[in-house]
Amino acid sequence: MKALCVLGAGSNSGKSWLATALCAWLKQQGLRVTPFKAQNMSNNSYVTWDGGEIGRAQAVQAQACGLLPQVEMNPVLLKPSGQLGAQLVLLGQAQGHVKALDYYDRVEPLWETARAALDGLLQAYDVVVVEGAGSPVELNLMARDIANLRPLRHADGRWILVADIERGGVFPQIIGTYQLLPPADRARGLGIVVNKFRGDPRLFDDAGSILAGRVPVPYLGLLPYDAALQPESEDSLCAADEASGSSDAPLIAWIRFPHISNSSDIQPWRLDGGVHAAWVDRPAALQAARAIVLPGSKNTVADLSWLRDTGLAHAITAKASRRTPVVGICGGYQMLGETINDPEGVAGDSGVEQGLGLLPLRTVFARRKQVTQVRVRWGDEGWDAYEIHMGLSEPTREVLPLLAVERNGERGGEGVRQGAVWGTYLHGLFESAAVRSELAALAGLTGHIPAPVSWTQHQRDLFERMAAFIDVHLDLRGVLAYVEH
């Protein structure tokens, strides 16, 4: 019952990536390993087998461990929603919205929930890989922080600190973080990792000796940045900055909403050739688009208003009138309809908005949240997908479903297909090569080359490569000695 805590010298330092790689590596060592993050803030989420909602990063880490994701792996999830603050998801279930100050007033009972979840995992597994959040030494928040030092202390764990050299100032990041830790927590140090190095690693050969005189914690090594080894980003904004494919290939434009959620839906397009999937936020960027995708949103009303204010709404409908394929996923699906009515603001800003009018449906929001895993059928292909939304969309006339699903043992249609416009609530739609191929054909992309492996197999192979990568670049002997004794 060991806890290996991955702490960061700051946000986006690579904690999620390193925790995922460590999960895969420890699994290779024959250990029963599971992920844990007490409190996560992300609009990239995943539905567990029993209908709970957790951060997608912990779901990916569970898969790297060879496990089914479960709510105890991320007991507290905060989903930023704009002016309302963030939706609080506790043990997989939505609890309404909270402002930052209100959240911190509730932090002690939230910690008790997280502690109980951690205790259960410690009893069931050999190693719990605990991912921290942001920095563990934010002095104004340390006393109320339940994601970093509290799990470390409660589990009597050991930490690895990962620092991002790409941002510059990597030595101040490491040394400053170490010096700001309370002395008892400094003693729990197991190693230092420098992440995202680009260039000649020989330029960093003296890093160990530089650190040795200032931080009495082993320097484990340098991780070069490798774009081919990125399973996905936890942070929607970071993920939305990443494009896929060759910029010379035909463009599939993904709309980058201010409140974008589940941006990981773009990821499977990275496997294919002959196409360039990229995030856009300006009307001019749609001129060359051969297809347009509106992804999920954590504030549908506000993001629909943003589409109009920026001119993107007009650009999208103009492209659709020329039979350019348009796909809406979750919040994007709702926007393609005739009206959106959120009288109480349960999914963000309140109000009634006219949709883009590309699909014959109306959406009304209610407090009950739909969180479900489904089995999808598309021709001869089947795979798992999930839906997370707070609106009910009803067609205003007879429509054709986009695809077939099995939900809670019952089979039926899901989504809407009207000509070149598709709409669905399902995250994971594009994990099917058949779906990607059909959209590419609809867009006239004759050079599209679907990947020869499934998305699931790609993920499995990727975890193996991540484990091998850290085995080569880091000195993990001390880590293994700790978890095995």
Assigned token pair, 350: 């309140």
Set 154, 330, 389, 448: catalytic member: 330
User: What pLDDT is attached to residue 371?
Assistant: 83
Do the beta carbons of residue 240 and residue 263 sit within 8 Å? yes
Place of tokens 């999808």: 376
Angle of CA points 289, 270, 442, to nearest 5°: 40
Place of tokens 């209100």: 102
Do the beta carbons of residue 5 and residue 122 sit within 8 Å? no
Place of tokens 């800003």: 349
Q: Which of 377, 367, 366 is nearest to 415 (CA)?
A: 377
Beta partners for 197? 224
pLDDT in tens, 422-441: 999 999 999 999 999 999 99
pLDDT in tens, 205-242: 899 999 998 999 999 999 999 988 988 654 444 444 44
User: What pLDDT is attached to residue 349?
Assistant: 67
The pLDDT-based confidence of 375 (bands split at 50, 70, 90) is: very high
Residue 246 pLDDT more than 70?
no
pLDDT in tens, 356-366: 999 999 999 87
Average pLDDT, the chain: 91
Q: How far apart are CA 356 and CA 339, in angstroms?
A: 8
Q: Which ranges constitute the DSSP H helices of 144-206?
A: 149-154, 170-180, 183-186
User: What pLDDT is attached to residue 237?
Assistant: 41
pLDDT in tens, 316-350: 999 999 999 999 999 999 999 999 988 777 666 67
Set 154, 427, 448, 458: catalytic member: 427
* Alpha carbon distances (Å) from 479 to 155, 157, 217, 236, 472: 16, 12, 12, 31, 14
Average pLDDT over residues 375-391: 88
Cβ atoms within 10 Å of 168's Cβ, excluding its own:
8
Q: How far apart are CA 280 and CA 277, in angstroms?
A: 10
Do the beta carbons of residue 347 and residue 300 sit within 8 Å? yes
Do the beta carbons of residue 4 and residue 23 sit within 8 Å? no
User: What pLDDT is attached to residue 233?
Assistant: 54
User: What pLDDT is attached to residue 239?
Assistant: 42
Residue type, 196: K
* Mode of pairing for the β-strands spanning 85-90 and 93-98: antiparallel
- All structural domains of the chain, each given as residue ranges with its CATH number in brackets, are 2-230 (3.40.50.300), 243-453 (3.40.50.880)
pLDDT in tens, 90-122: 999 999 889 888 888 899 999 999 999 999 999
The pLDDT-based confidence of 289 (bands split at 50, 70, 90) is: very high
pLDDT in tens, 295-308: 999 888 899 999 99
The pLDDT-based confidence of 245 (bands split at 50, 70, 90) is: very low
Tally of residues, the chain: 485
Residue 330 known to be catalytic: yes
Q: How far apart are CA 21 and CA 166, in angstroms?
A: 19
Residue 144 pLDDT more than 60?
yes
Report the share of the chain in percent with pLDDT over 90.
74
Average pLDDT over residues 145-172: 95
Residue type, 356: L
* Mode of pairing for the β-strands spanning 39-41 and 76-82: parallel
The pLDDT-based confidence of 82 (bands split at 50, 70, 90) is: confident
